[in-house]
Structures are given as C-alpha cells and as structure tokens.
C-alpha cells in the first residue's frame, strides 16, 4: 500500500504520559502540512489543538480518556472538511514515533513489530514516564490507523550509541552495569544529529572532517561532542537529569548532596527524584520560575538570585564546552539550538564572550536579536565558527521513517 514516491505523507508522533504532539509532513518537499497537540490525556478535561501550514486552526476542550481517544481526535482533524489536509486516511503512508530511551538495544531507527515493542517495554525502568507512554502511543496508533500502516521508531539515544566505553561508564561497581545497565546514554540525540549535519552543510564541509560541539539549550538541555560525525561524549547521563542546570533540573551534582538532603529532610527516593527533576535548576536558584523569560525580566529589574541563576548557567555551559574541546583535541564549530539556544541572544553572547583562548571571535552585531533563524554569529576571522541552527527533530524522524518504509 506504499504510494508513489511523489506523494509520501508521514505522520510524526511524540507521545508523552498525558500529552501527544504530532506533525504531518509531505516528504515530497519536506514541508509540514499540519501539526497539533493533545494535552491532559486521561484527565477530567483535555485540550486538543490543530493547526495547518496555511493557518487554519481548531482548538477544543474534550475529554480524552487514553491515547487511542487522542488519536481519534488527530485522525478526525486531519480528515476534517474545514481544517483537514488529507481526503482519505490511506494518504498517510507511514507513522514515525519519537522514543526517548533505546538503551543498548537500539542503535538505529527500526520498523515496529511485537519484538520491538517488547524491547521498548523492557527499557521502561530506565525511562518510566516516557517509554511506557511511547508504547501506549504505538498501540493506540495501530488501533486508529490500522496495523497495515507501517510504523517506525526513532530513538533519542541512538545517535549517542557511538560513545566509547570510557565516556559512557560510571565509576560505580561494575556489577551494576552488568545487572542494571547503568551507564551514560545521552538524550536529544535526534536534535544533535540534525544540527550537526546541518552545520556541516552550512560550512560546506563533510561532517567526517569536522570537530563539533552542539548545544541544545531549552527547558531540558544537553551538550554533545561530535568527532568525524560520531558522538564521543554528551552531557546527559543515565537519565535526562545529568549535565548542566536546566529549567527545573539540577544537572550534575555531588552524589553526597543527595544522601545529605535525604537524611536531613527525611525524603524517599521518589521525593528526591521530584526535588531534583522538578524543583531545582533555574527555578530552584531564582525562586521565580523555570521559564527563562521570567528570569530575564527579574534580572533586568535587579533581582540578585535571577542574576545568580544566569551566571551559574553560563559558567556551567562554558565548562562543558571547554572540557569537550579537550576531549576532541580542538573544535571547528559550536552550534546553538533549541528554545534558549535559538532565541536567547544574551545567553549566547555571555557564553561566547570569555572564550577568546579558544579562538572564538564573537560577532555581537550578527547575534543581536536573532530568534529561531539559521545564522553564523562568529566574526569572519574567528578560528572557531559559531552558528545558530534551529532544530527539526520531526524532520529527522520523518526522513528515517521514509528511508525504512521505502525498503519494504
């Protein structure tokens, strides 16, 4: 039932525990036809929003008891006489899913079958919230779109699977690696993969000849060192809590801080996880918000803790960049992407300003006010190039899905 080359439409899905984001992409020109999200799945009242590329919109409050009911809304919107973009469901050639944790099982994107679903389920202990939701999403898709529509899974961890053992092992007793597969996995791989390949194109060079540091800075953030197209290290670890401070996450911490707080405050592992994942980071230090826009406003108004939160963030990012330059033995380009990386010119400026020793000559004018656009923001004579490259994880998922489905 695969259609002609010229009209392959792929539905890209990112299913969370109580949410579902989607995009329908026409692979003929790689353009998004429609996108939307289902929020508050499983709660008393949910929100469904859908928007087409030409600006038609639908937003309703409706109860969606589970992911299957959410997909019914997606299907109805895509076929809708007013906001729809397809005439018949058969126009959806394939479905691509984002999966957060692929563990050591999956090092590349694969076609979904029962064995693959079992594999994703077996990794639920490593990503309890995400992977169980992804499986619900895959099964719900089958219920609504039918089993004959091929589904592909693309893993956040896969791009990082080239990391050498010396980079991914933690210095805890080796038996825990053998028993529980405790190691560094890294996340945002789909984003790091997209922006690293894209920056190589922008530089007119082969990625196999480049040393790159990609900075995905958003509410969740990670930095990756890429040598000759392969990841050699990344800042997130066993879970997306490791690395540098984020909107509500601590980033790297002295493990004794965890045991100390646990004893003093009498907290359970679940409460500690909540504290470090949801109440720390920019929110914990500023006491204001996890949203950087609020912290910027407070800092402009002279709030000292907002200023401290930003100083800490910049310093931690600079340290990661410095350590990855050492790991790579040099760097050709540094790339900023994701919510803050793409939109926060002050943050980019602060990070790059004290990096002269690296050979970074920052172009302050080129950087000023740039939001969500591809742009080189280093001076022409800078030894190290600095770029903004907006990420496009959905497109990577759609491309992988297309490549796999075309071989069927």
The pLDDT score that the predictor gives to residue 6 is 53
Q: Are 185 and 101 in contact (CB under 8 A)?
A: yes
| Spatial separation of the C-alpha atoms in residues 100 and 115, rounded to whole Å | 18
Given the residues 6, 39, 80, 156, the one annotated as active site: 156
Q: Give, for 180, the enclosing helix (H) or strand (E).
A: helix 174-180
- Distance in angstroms (rounded) separating the CA atoms of residues 187 and 243: 11
Nearest to 183 by CA among 168, 199, 203: 168
Q: Helices (DSSP H) in 87-150: which residue ranges?
A: 114-122, 128-145
Q: Is residue 192 part of a domain?
A: no
Token digits for 183? 């190691």
Lookup: tokens for 326: 């050492």
139 and 210 assigned to the same domain: no
pLDDT at 408: 83
Average pLDDT per 10 consecutive residues for the chain, totaling 408 residues: 63 88 94 93 91 94 92 93 92 94 92 95 84 90 90 95 96 96 94 97 97 94 97 95 93 96 95 92 92 91 95 96 97 95 95 90 94 95 96 94 92
CATH number of the domain encompassing residue 247: 3.30.420.40
Taking each helix axis from N to C end, the angle separating 128-145 and 67-79, rounded to the nearest 10 degrees, works out to 50
- On whether both 364 and 229 belong to a single domain, the answer is yes
Distance of alpha carbon 139 from alpha carbon 127, whole angstroms: 18
Q: Structural domain tally of the chain?
A: 2
Q: What is the pLDDT of residue 128?
A: 76
- Go through 54-70 and write b for each residue having 16 or more CB atoms within 10 A of its CB, e for each that does not: eeeebeeeeebeebbbb
DSSP states of 380-404 as a string?
Answer: TT-SSEEEE----HHHHHHHHHHHH
Is 175 a member of any domain? no
The predicted structure's pLDDT at residue 3: 44
The pTM assigned to this predicted structure is: 0.90
Enclosing H/E stretch for 73: helix 67-79
Q: Is 135 in the same domain as 72?
A: yes
Cα separation, 229 vs 209, in Å, equals 8
Tell me the pairing of strands 333-337 and 151-155: unpaired
Alpha-carbon gap, residue 33 to 7, rounded angstroms: 12
Residues 263 and 371 placed together within one structural domain of the fold? yes
Q: What is the pLDDT of residue 4?
A: 45
- Pair (358, 226) in one structural domain: yes
Asked if residue 157 lies in contact with residue 102, where contact means CB atoms within 8 angstroms, the answer is yes
* Cβ-based burial of 373 (10 A; exposed 0-12, middle 13-18, buried ≥19): exposed
Chain centroid to CA 77: how far? 26
Structure tokens at 84: 């729809």
Whether residue 341 is found in the same domain as residue 211: yes
Q: Tokens 């000023």 correspond to what residue?
A: 368
- What single-letter DSSP state applies at residue 362? B
Tell me which residue range forms the domain holding 386. Answer: 206-393
170 occurs within a structural domain: no
87 and 214 assigned to the same domain: no
| Number of CB atoms found within 10 A of residue 147's CB | 10
* pLDDT value of position 291: 85
Does 86 share its domain with 233? no
CA distance 294 to 182: 36
Clarify whether residues 111 and 12 are in a common domain.
yes
Contacts of 170 (CB under 8 A, 6+ apart): 177, 182, 183, 184, 237, 238
Active site (annotated) includes residue 156 = yes
pLDDT for res 18: 83
The pair phi, psi for residue 15, each rounded to 5°, is -95, 120
My answer on whether 68 and 214 are in the same domain is: no
Of 196, 223, 237, 235, the C-alpha closest to 101 is 237
Quick one: pLDDT at residue 19? 86
Q: Is residue 404 part of a domain?
A: no
Q: Pick the closest to residue 302 from 288, 291, 320, 316 (CA basis).
A: 288
Domain boundary among 94, 128, 155: 155
Q: Which residue has the tokens 């589904």?
A: 151
Question: Residue 177 domain-assigned?
Answer: no
Q: Is 15 part of any domain?
A: yes
């Amino acid at each position: 039932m695969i259609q002609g080359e010229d009209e392959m439409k792929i539905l890209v899905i990112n299913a969370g525990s109580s949410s579902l984001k989607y995009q329908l992409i026409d692979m003929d020109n790689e353009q998004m036809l429609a996108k939307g999200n289902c929020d508050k799945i499983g709660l008393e009242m949910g929100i469904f929003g859908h928007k087409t590329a030409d600006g038609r919109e639908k937003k309703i409050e409706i109860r969606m008891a589970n992911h299957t009911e959410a997909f019914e809304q997606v299907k109805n919107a895509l076929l809708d006489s007013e906001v729809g973009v397809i005439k018949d469901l058969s126009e959806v050639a394939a479905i691509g899913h984002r999966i957060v944790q692929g563990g050591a099982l999956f090092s590349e994107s694969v076609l979904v079958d029962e064995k693959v679903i079992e594999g994703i389920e077996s990794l639920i202990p490593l990503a309890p919230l995400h992977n169980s939701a992804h499986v619900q999403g895959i099964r719900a898709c089958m219920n609504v779109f039918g089993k004959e529509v091929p589904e592909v899974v693309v893993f956040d961890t896969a791009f990082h699977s080239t990391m050498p053992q010396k980079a991914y092992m933690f210095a805890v007793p080796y038996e825990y690696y053998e028993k529980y597969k405790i190691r560094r996995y890294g996340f945002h791989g789909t984003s790091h993969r997209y922006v690293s390949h894209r920056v190589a194109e922008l530089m007119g060079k082969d990625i196999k000849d480049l040393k790159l540091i990609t900075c995905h800075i958003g509410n969740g953030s990670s930095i990756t060192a890429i040598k000759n197209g392969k990841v050699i290290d990344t800042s997130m670890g066993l879970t997306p809590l490791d690395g540098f401070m984020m909107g509500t996450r601590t980033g790297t911490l002295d493990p004794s801080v965890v045991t100390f707080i646990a004893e003093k405050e009498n907290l359970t592992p679940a409460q500690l996880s909540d504290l470090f994942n949801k109440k720390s980071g920019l929110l914990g230090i500023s006491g204001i918000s996890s949203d950087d826009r609020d912290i910027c406003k407070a800092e402009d108004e002279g709030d000292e803790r907002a200023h401290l939160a930003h100083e800490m963030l910049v310093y931690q990012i600079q340290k990661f960049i410095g350590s990855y330059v050492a790991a790579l033995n040099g760097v050709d380009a540094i790339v900023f992407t994701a919510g803050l990386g793409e939109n926060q010119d002050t943050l980019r400026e602060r990070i790059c300003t004290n990096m002269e020793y690296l050979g970074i000559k920052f172009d302050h004018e080129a950087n000023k006010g740039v939001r969500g656009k591809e742009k080189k923001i280093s001076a022409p004579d800078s030894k190290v190039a600095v770029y903004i490259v907006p990420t496009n994880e959905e497109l990577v998922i759609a491309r992988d899905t297309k490549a796999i489905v075309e071989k069927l």
